[in-house]
Every structure is written in C-alpha cells, then in structure tokens.
Amino acid sequence: MKTCFRITARAGACLSLLTALSMAFGQEVPQSIKDAVKRADEAIAKIVSVPDDQRTYENTLGAYDDMTAHLERDTSMTIFMANVSTDPKVRNDARAAEEFVGNWSVELGIREDLYKAMKAFAAKKPSLNAEQQRFLDFTLRDYRRQGMELSKEKRDRVAEIQKELNRLGIQFDQNIADDETALPFTVAELKGVPEDVVKGMKKAGKDTVIATMDGPTFSAILDMAQSEETREKAWIAYKRRGGEKNNEVLKQLVKLRAELASLLGYKTFADYILEPRMAKNAATVAKFYNDLRPIVRKKAELDWAEFKKAKADETKNAKAEFYPWDYSYYKTLLQKKKYAVDGEKVAEYFPMERVVDGLFKTTQSLYDLTYKDVTADAKSLGFEIWHPDVKLFEVKDSASGDLIGHFFIDLYPRPGKYTHAACWGLFSRKEWMDGKVSTPVAALVCNFTKPTAEKPSLLPHEEVETFFHEFGHVLHNLLTKANTNRFAGAAVARDFVEAPSQMFENWVWNAEVLNTFAAHYKTGEKLPKKLLDGMIAARNLGSGIETEHQFYYGLVDQAYHTAPGGDIDPTKISQELFPKVELYKEVPGVYYQASFGHLVGYEAAYYGYQWSLVYAQDMFQRFEELGLLNPKAGAYYREKILSRGGTMDEFAMLRDYLGREPKLDAFLRHLGLSK
C-alpha cells in the first residue's frame, strides 16, 4: 500500500513515500506544487493568528486537517506521476516535487507557533467526539515524537537529520531503480524458460541473449531454468543489486536513524518507529519472532526434506546440496509432479477480462456496491488519464445511490512505469469544516502481461492473488467513513495496513469463488476440479521455508535498527543471520540488504507483513464462518473494519469484529502448521 502524500504533525511520516525515485538531472519543481505549498502556508498563518482564548476545533485542529487535505488533493496526482507517466521530464519533476513537499513538511513539523496553537487548544480541554479526540491525542504525540519538547538546538538537529534521511532514502531507492544488472546467457543455458520470455530478451549474438534482472525475467529463470548454474548466476547477480553503493548509504541511514532516536529519548530507532504501531516496541517484535520461529521451523524442516529429495531425484545425486537458487525451480517441479499443477496451463483459465469481471462482481455483491467505467468522462469529472491502458471507475453505494469514490486501474507494463503491483491512496475521504464532503480516489498499478493480437493477458494464479490483494487496498481506501483526512481510508497503524488485503487473497483459493469466473480463454471450459484441487492442495508447499525467509528479512531489519548507536556492518549482519534463521548455508559475495527496498519506507517495520498476516487470517476465519460470498458477511466486515479507517485502536477494532481476542490458530493453519 502506497500513500502518495499524507502529512501529519510528525513530519517524518511523509518522507520517502514514493519508491523507485530518481534524482536525474533536469528536475524542476512544478509551479502548481509551489502554489499549493503557498496556499498551505497561508492556511497555517490563519490558524496561528487565532487568539488562544478563541480557539475551537473548527479554527485550529479542524482547520489544520482541512489544510492537509487540500495539500494532498493539490499535490498527490503530480507526485504520483513519478510512477506512471510516459514522459521522463514529468517523472523527474514529480520526484523533485516529492522532495520539495517532503522538506517543507519537515519545517512544518517543527514550527513552534503551530505547536503552541495546538497546545493552547488542548489546554482548553475541549469537548470532542471520539475521532476528534483521537486526532488531538495523535497530534500532540506526533509533536512530541518530532522533538517539540526539546531545546531549539536539539529540534534543529532533528530537522537536519530528517532532511538528510530524506535525501539518503531517495538515493537508496535511486540506486536500486537505476541498477542495470544484466547477464548474457546462451539459449541453451535458458532451457526450460518459457519461449516468449526468452524471445523478449535483447539479442547479443546468434545464440546469446541478455537477461535483465527485472522481476518477471528473474522469476522466470529461477522458476523454470533447468540449468543449476544458470539459476545460481541469476540469483547471485540479483542479490548483488545496489552493491557497495547502497551498503555505504545504508550505514549512513542507520547511523542517523539511531542518532534521531537518541535525541528524541528512545533506546533504539526500532523503539521510536514502533511506538505508534500495534507492536509498540522492539521487545514485542523480538517476542513475536521468538514465539513463532520454533513452530515454523518444524514445517521448514519437513519442506526441506521434501525439496532436497526432489533435487536428489532429478539430479540422481543423493548428496546434492540444496541452495537458495534451487527453491523456486523445485517448487515448480513439485507442483507439476506431485500436485499435477502446471502454472502455464493454470494461467489459461485466468484471462484478464474474466479476472476483472470476477473481482468486480464479487466485491460489488459482497459490499453492496456498483462500479461504472467512466473513463470517457474523466476530463469532465476533473481527472486526467495518463495512458491509453488506464481506466477510471466510479463507485456508488447500491442501496442509497450515493457516490463513494473513484479508482483508476493501470494494469500493464511500459518503460518508466513502477515495476511491481501497488495501490496508491491519492485523495482521502474528507468532511470539510464547512460541512461538505469530498470522496476518496485510489489508483491500482500493476504489471501483468499485456495482451497481444493472438492471445489475451493470461494471469498466473499468483498474479490473480496479487490483483485481489491490491484491490483489497482500493476498498480500504474507498469504503472509509472517517471524517478526518488524518484517519481516512488505510490510515491505520502500519503493522495493520496490509491485513485487509492479505485477508482478501484467500478468495482466490476458494473453489466456490473461483468457479464464478475462472474459465479457459479459448473454450470457456471451467477450471477442472482435478486442477483446482491440486492448486489448493499445493498451497502450503514450501510454506515453512518461505515464512523463514520472511523472518530473515524482518530480523535483519530489526538487527540494524536495534544496534547500539547505529554502528553496523550491514553485510556482516545479513550474512551471519542468513544461516541462523534459514536452513540454507551462507552464500558469500552477496548483498541481500543493498536491494532490500523496504529499508527505506518500512525501516524497523518489515516484521509488519507477518504480524498483519496473523490478524488477516483470524479475520478471514470469521468472514468464512459467515460465508465468503454472503453479502451480510460483507456488510458486517465493511462496517466493523473497512469503514472505520484509523478512527479507533486496531486491537479494539479486531476484538469488535471477531467478538473475542485475536488468536494465532488461523495463521498457523494458513501455513499448514500447528502448535
């Protein structure tokens, strides 16, 4: 889930929110961005000018929320263009705009006059509703976390560090985005890789092609290349992206983050980051891993034995070692041999048109919604369509006919576009101080295979899962009933934000759901029961190994950000932890951390993916009890989770939805595990 721009009193919250940033030459901050910031400054001046004895919610905190919402609506589309525009200048200017607004927000976060205005308002002990009181509490907390209770000298240093972290974070992302690692392979060395993938590679001679390390190409090689040497070369090259350049940037980032935490009174940077999240502190995260790792290790050992045997059988070498570059290949092999699941054949039952239709019908029915393609009317509605592939949809509540919001979908790859799948919350729902309401807007950006004249876009099942996941974020953004910009949509604790989307992935593993839309692109034949049963049976194949791999990245992240003083050797830590957390042996000469993009944006917080998955599966169990296609179940979930946004404590929200305390059981079943 990406937030294009959402400012809070905590200035650091809005820094480095865009990935794949590029500080290319020729950047220019668009005048519209400068004008938007000027209007924001004028709104702030008006807030601080109010005499303290005349402060109300409407002219102080509410006016501040109005300012942030106006700024979001005036800047987010421009900044978002960094990820989707076909024009390099537009992308570069968007990146300049992001840095400009980010640095402005640092200064905003340490404005003493605005801080004093908020303190004066709080001192009046105003009578507020629950959402407004939470907003005030969070604002004062954010100011404390920003250092406003420190001396001016220390506050200035906090701001200086945040600006430098902003710059270094952009540089870290830049080094990953600009990495041009590519390897020459003969066609013979790529035996097993789908023909259309090899044909898409640049030629470097009669029988030689150049394999770039973009996600789809890398995955195809790891999944399908029969040559272990080819897989090893690709894996090592992929894990060296970013290289020493990013290693040095990372050292600076971690050191500065530790200094920031120390200035603000926290033991470690992880403790600072985690305070406003569900986990609260680094000790809770450490316990989370300590509790889960022994349980997951049992499944990982079973997986390991199964995968090692598969390699021994195929290579006819009982002593064959199992390496990280073997995992995807033998998982694909086991899916075919043990479960009769051929990924390429499965994709034939998921043409894009049917997947979109199935996704839309499922969610419209569940949540009592109506979607309408309004791409042709975009301009008259005040929207711009940035590419012919893009579509715009209007969302209304079916019962009342009220407009809920809009979402864009941009499904296919092109040069200069964001390379993965993500949802951007562009505009939040907002009830303005004058009583008017503005509706939310989200954008779903993916990179699925583009259709050709001969064949429609066919989605592998894992991409169908990705589509449902990201659409879960769209719904979280749109179905909010929060009135403040601060809490609208997916503005929940960062270690909960993935839970609604992770929960929605489960629909693509349910036979009843899949039978409503999965059909062969040529014949219209439904997904055969034998194939579907095999897919479902293979769902937990390798789940122990994969979960330990996620633990590894989370533990590396925690090790960096709990190190005393932030003095670390990033490579040493990542290398030493690898064989301690996973069953593989250490692989020398790689820099796992140098291309670990989550170290900027999710720093000290990567644990959140597994943390939120625990709650996602618990929520799914409740939804499943009520019926996956039952509109009453959808209405209940919409009311208890999606509509609330960040207006209440996440644990309280979960207890209200579940009717009990959250439990680990559903998560363990999801992985094919038990205590």
Residues 490 and 641: beta-carbon distance below 8 Å? no
25 secondary structure, DSSP code: T
Residue where the block lists tokens 């715009």? 392
Which position among 72, 431, 470, 548 bears the catalytic label?
Answer: 470
H-helix segments, 10-60: 31-48
Count Cβ atoms within 10 A of the Cβ of residue 454 and give its class: 0-12 exposed, 13-18 middle, 19 or more buried: exposed
Distance between CA atoms of 362 and 628, rounded to whole angstroms? 9
Distance between CA atoms of 155 and 264, rounded to whole angstroms? 9
Residue 319, helix vs strand vs coil: coil
Count Cβ atoms within 10 A of the Cβ of residue 385 and give its class: 0-12 exposed, 13-18 middle, 19 or more buried: middle
Count Cβ atoms within 10 A of the Cβ of residue 441 and give its class: 0-12 exposed, 13-18 middle, 19 or more buried: buried
Residue where the block lists tokens 């054949």? 345
Provide long-range contacts, Cβ within 8 A and 24+ apart, for 284-291. Answer: 285/554, 285/558, 285/607, 285/611, 286/558, 288/607, 288/610, 288/611, 289/551, 289/554, 289/555, 289/558, 289/607
Residues 298 and 673: beta-carbon distance below 8 Å? yes
Nearest to 246 by CA among 142, 314, 182, 175: 175
Q: Which residues contact 380 (CB under 8 A, 6 or more apart)?
A: none
Residue 132, helix vs strand vs coil: helix
Distance between CA atoms of 87 and 281, rounded to whole angstroms? 43
Respond yes or no: is residue 546 known to be catalytic. Answer: no
Residue 396: φ, ψ to 5°: -125, 155
Buried b (16+ CB within 10 A) or exposed e, 18-46: bbbbbeeeebebbeebeebbeebeebbee
Q: Which residues contact 576 (CB under 8 A, 6 or more apart)?
A: 586
Q: Which residues contact 538 (CB under 8 A, 6 or more apart)?
A: 334, 335, 338, 339, 341
Residues 490 and 470: beta-carbon distance below 8 Å? no
Q: Which amino acid is at 265?
A: G
Q: Could you give the angle at the alpha carbon of 50 between the alpha carbons of 44 and 53, nearest 5°?
A: 140
Q: For the chain, how are helix, strand and coil distributed in percent, rounded to 5?
A: 60, 10, 35
Residues 179 and 244: beta-carbon distance below 8 Å? no
Q: Which amino acid is at 250?
A: L
Strand partners, 392: 408
Q: Which residues contact 397 (CB under 8 A, 6 or more apart)?
A: 368, 369, 370, 404
Token output for 514 = 């899949």
Nearest to 242 by CA among 180, 323, 182: 180
Residue 580, helix vs strand vs coil: helix
User: Catalytic residue numbers?
Assistant: 470
